């Protein structure tokens, strides 16, 4: 009699597992089956309620989906090389440690605040911008990363194709856009105007992270127009955290080179 009861129970469990597999597949949540089987014995032994068991199974599914979604968002962001805050050498930049820790909460994204990272080459600006972008992706935000030159090329192509307005509207759906290396190459007037439109379209709507080797006072030379640069900076910093990194390039450590040539911006008038 006991043996028959045991066999019946096993058959019932097998049928339930099959039904669960079917239902999980229909919901496009195949991990539910694995979580349910893994937690079943634990739930029985611990005397969980049905509600506790269901919540635990669904929690595993949600966690797995979030992790999978984050990986997809990180892959789609176009980072040059994945970086994390854990890998950053804060001993070389101790003054910004607390600011970065606060920004890592992701609150700046919900407030549509910007982050500007200024400093000489090799001080970790791109590393921090990338790491904060990965944090944003893990918080569920869509992210896009490119250099300033690449962004201008993208906007110029859209402008020539007559779809600039559509492109700017599409980019506004991204929670974070990262613009790396502002100032490494000067822009022509048309390119500067396009870049201004990108900044303006996101003002108080979505976040930007920008990195630059120049202080704001040097941006007029980059964009070829002091008025355009001033208007752009005004919109960027109105709701922004501006962090200045200092020191020598990490790439030069141990190479017997103490510093790089200083950066000086010039205008065509000054050169003539």
pLDDT tens-digit series, residues 24-70: 778 777 778 888 888 888 888 888 998 888 888 888 888 777 778 89
Q: What is the pLDDT of residue 9?
A: 46
pLDDT tens-digit series, residues 119-164: 999 999 999 999 999 999 999 999 999 999 999 999 999 999 999 9
Which one-letter DSSP state was computed for residue 87? G
Task: State the residue for tokens 């694995």.
Answer: 34
How far is residue 113's CA from residue 109's CA, in Å, rounded to a whole number?
A: 6
Higher pLDDT, 46 or 262: 46
Q: What is the pLDDT of residue 251?
A: 65
Indicate whether 247 pLDDT > 80. Answer: yes
Q: Which of 52, 25, 26, 30 is nearest to 39 (CA)?
A: 52
Most confident region among 43-52, 175-184, 242-251 by mean pLDDT: 175-184
Indicate whether 238 pLDDT > 50. Answer: yes
| Confidence grade of residue 255 (pLDDT, cut at 50, 70, 90) | low
User: What is the model's pTM?
Assistant: 0.76
Please, which residues bridge with residue 163 across strands? none
C-alpha Rg value of the chain to the nearest Å: 26
Q: What is the pLDDT of residue 253?
A: 66
Q: At CB < 8 A and 24+ separation, what contacts does 259-268 make?
A: 260/120, 260/121, 260/122, 263/120, 263/213, 263/214, 263/218, 265/214, 265/218, 265/220, 265/221, 265/222, 266/221, 267/220, 267/221
Strands (E), the chain: 114-118, 143-147, 176-182, 207-212, 240-244
Q: What is the pLDDT of residue 29?
A: 79
Indicate whether 261 pLDDT > 70. Answer: no
Indicate whether 266 pLDDT > 70. Answer: no
Domain coordinates in residue numbering, the chain: 15-75, 78-249
Q: What is the pLDDT of residue 6?
A: 47
Q: What is the pLDDT of residue 16?
A: 73
pLDDT tens-digit series, residues 59-102: 888 877 777 889 999 999 999 999 999 999 999 999 999 999 99
Indicate whether 7 pLDDT > 60. Answer: no
Task: State the residue for tokens 């790439």.
Answer: 251
Indicate whether 259 pLDDT > 70. Answer: no
How far is residue 112's CA from residue 205's CA, in Å, rounded to a whole number?
A: 6
Please, which residues bridge with residue 241 across strands? 115
Tokens describing residue 265: 């911006």
Average pLDDT, the chain: 87
Q: Which of 126, 104, 108 is nearest to 117 (CA)?
A: 126
Indicate whether 116 pLDDT > 90. Answer: yes
Q: What is the pLDDT of residue 5?
A: 47
**185 CB contacts (<8 Å, ≥6 apart)?**
148, 149
Please, are residues 241 and 235 in contact by the beta-carbon 8 Å criterion?
A: no
Strands (E), 13-142: 114-118
Please, are residues 216 and 121 in contact by the beta-carbon 8 Å criterion?
A: no
CATH number of 78-249: 3.40.50.300
Q: Which of 251, 263, 197, 233 is nearest to 89 (CA)?
A: 251
Please, are residues 272 and 261 in contact by the beta-carbon 8 Å criterion?
A: no
How far is residue 204's CA from residue 238's CA, in Å, rounded to a whole number?
A: 9
Q: What is the pLDDT of residue 81?
A: 93
| Confidence grade of residue 264 (pLDDT, cut at 50, 70, 90) | very low
Q: Which of 54, 155, 122, 59 is nearest to 260 (CA)?
A: 122
Which sign, positive or negative, has the C-alpha torsion 41, 47, 52, 56? negative
């Amino acid at each position: 009699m006991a043996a028959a009861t045991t066999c019946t129970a096993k058959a019932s469990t097998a049928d339930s597992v099959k039904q669960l597999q079917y239902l999980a597949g229909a919901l496009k949540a195949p991990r539910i089956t694995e979580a349910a089987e893994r937690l079943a014995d634990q739930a029985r032994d611990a005397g969980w309620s049905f509600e506790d068991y269901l919540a635990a199974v669904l929690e595993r599914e949600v966690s797995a989906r979030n992790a999978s979604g984050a990986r997809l968002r990180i892959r789609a962001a176009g980072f040059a090389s994945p970086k994390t805050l854990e890998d950053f050498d804060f001993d070389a930049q101790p003054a910004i440690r607390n600011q970065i820790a606060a920004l890592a909460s992701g609150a700046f994204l919900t407030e549509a605040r910007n982050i500007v990272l200024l400093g000489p080459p090799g001080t970790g600006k791109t590393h921090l911008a990338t790491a904060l972008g990965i944090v944003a992706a893990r918080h569920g935000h869509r992210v896009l990363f490119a250099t300033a030159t690449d962004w201008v090329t993208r906007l110029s192509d859209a402008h020539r194709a007559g779809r600039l307005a559509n492109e700017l509207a599409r980019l506004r759906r991204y929670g974070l856009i990262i613009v790396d290396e502002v100032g490494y190459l000067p822009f022509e007037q048309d390119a500067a105007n396009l870049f201004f439109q990108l900044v303006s379209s996101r003002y108080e709507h979505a976040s930007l992270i920008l990195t630059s080797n120049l202080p704001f006072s040097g941006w007029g030379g980059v964009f070829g127009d002091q008025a355009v640069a001033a208007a752009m900076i005004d919109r960027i910093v109105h709701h922004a955290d501006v962090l200045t990194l200092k020191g020598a390039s990490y790439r030069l450590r141990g190479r017997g080179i103490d510093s790089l040539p200083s950066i000086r911006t010039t205008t065509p008038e000054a050169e003539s």
